[in-house]
Structure 1
Amino acid sequence: MSPAANQIEHAAVRQHCKHLRLPTVAMQFDKLAQEAIKERQTHVSYLASLLGAEVEDRERRVVERRLHEARLPRMKTLAEFDFGKAPHISAAQIQSLAEGGYIAHTEPILFIGECGTGKTHLASGLCVAACQQKRRVRFTTAAGLVNELIEAQHHNFLGRALARWARYELIAIDEVGYVPFADVGAELLFQVISDRAERATLIVTTNLPFSEWTTVFSNTRLCKAILDRLTDRAHIIETGTESYRFRRTTEARQRARK
């Protein structure tokens, strides 16, 4: 085949791929064809390799999109978590949760512990694992979520905002307990939590035991209703009281002195 004819065929394949939205096939069909000739693959084997490359790249892009949409504060995975320095936390339990069964069964996860004990890291790691399973995930702080909903209500977009949050398969609400909420904010947060009860799941991190949640939600009945929905069939994981970050800083200073 002449070089000109070869170029025409390549251009036709790329045009078809553009029409069919197969970018990876367009990029790799020639390279994989040359490899197939050298390895004496069958036509079917070559086609399987080519389509497999497209599927693999497409799944990678879906995961990347899910991670971007999750708006994680930092990309922290469970593999990076040092369970050896967190004796209160069961590595086996966390790894089991990472498989995603709690999402399928709409079982909330609550991480309870002092600042610096790994709550946010674990919540982020579970969110990453869910994104890798191509689930729709969103990470937010409690204050950030409440502020967004109050602003939406102010501009008469509350229904639209709530519908957007309802589309996520998993929402992680970080730092419940650091900022007390006025009644309107507490009611909006309750609405998000209530709407997800037994339909979609939540991960919540808090530095407060349940007995002290009335310092955040001053309406006792509302506080009880929030806890009732969050703790139903929940995985409640205590992360302890000793700050991992503080201990890491102390150990680093000791090493520097030596």
Structure 2
Amino acid sequence: MNETPQLLLSHHLKALKLPTFLREYDKLARQCAAEGDDHTRYLLRLAELELIDRERRMVERRIKAARFPTVKSIDSFDFNAIASLNKMLVMELARCDYVNRNENVIAVGNSGTGKTHVALALGLAACQKGVPVGFITASALVHELLEARDDKRLLRLQKQLARVRLLIIDELGYVPLSPTGAELLFEVFSQRYERGSTIVTSNLPFDEWTSVFGSERLTGALLDRLTHHVHILEMNGDSYRLAQSRKAAKPLRDPETD
């Protein structure tokens, strides 16, 4: 028995990897017929649906590949809670032009002021703009580098990190690094210099980074590369996390007791 046109069409659309075409073509055909759209407009609308859905799936894949611990957006950040933060600069960075120029971003401030939230939000914005992103804490990255060195796959890992267009390194300064770990992390920054963009969050001002890297020479060389093309986000103030927790826990007023 010959296959029906519907079965053949389904087979061809699957082979062409057009899942939205397959899912929507029949429903949209009836809708276009009811609205009097010709075949060209029908195909245009169908193609637009496919492109929109394809872009959505690509963004989802980039978000998954970035390994974000959680997804945060700029819209969900309360800029009023951190008066020192330049909102206009953050909104400009969300356009991702700095990535095209291989520039860096450093968010510096005391603990709990939302540095990770902003870094994650900029990472999400980059994923939505088509930029491959990677997220990792400084301590986890050093651990991976040390393991890769011991397993004789350090060069492969370094190449993988260098290929990421936007690398987010969170919580630099929370844990002092061993001399070997500091040198390996320095190599990551050095290999990305003017070849890719890096976002760093740190609870330490620059003049205290020596306490993390253990060497003034290494720290100076690192800051020289990292701050050559950089946007600095000052994020000092009261704890953003504590303020958000208090806001979430605030009981609703009982109108009868007002």
TM-score, length of structure 1 as denominator length: 0.93
Corresponding residue number in structure 1 for 2:169:
173
Shift of 1:245: 2.1
Counterpart-to-counterpart distance in 1, 2:251 and 2:19:
52
Equivalent of 1:233, from 229, 233, 253?
Answer: 229
1:127-163 per-position Cα deviation (integer Å, ceiling 9, x unaligned): 0000011210011100011101110111011111111
Corresponding residue number in structure 2 for 1:76:
72
Counterpart-to-counterpart distance in 1, 2:59 and 2:234:
30
How do residues 106-255 of structure 1 correspond to structure 2 at under 5 angstroms?
106-249=102-245
TM-score, length of structure 2 as denominator length: 0.93
1:174-229 per-position Cα deviation (integer Å, ceiling 9, x unaligned): 00000011111111111111111111100000000111111101122111111111
Equivalent of 1:9, from 5, 8, 14?
Answer: 5
Aligned pairs, number: 254
- Taking a change above 3 Å as real, the CA distance of residues 104 and 252 of structure 1, as seen in their structure-2 partners, is closer
1:65-85 per-position Cα deviation (integer Å, ceiling 9, x unaligned): 000111111111110000111
Counterpart-to-counterpart distance in 2, 1:136 and 1:252:
33
Unmatched 5+ stretches in structure 1: none
8 Å contact kept, 2:81–2:243:
no
8 Å contact kept, 2:84–2:237:
no
Unmatched 5+ stretches in structure 2: none
The AA in structure 1 aligned to 2:132 is R
1:35 and 2:18 aligned: no
8 Å contact kept, 2:83–2:237:
no
Shift of 1:40: 1.2
CA RMSD in angstroms comes to 2.0
Query: What secondary structure sits across from 1:242 in the alignment?
Result: coil
Q: Percent identity?
A: 43
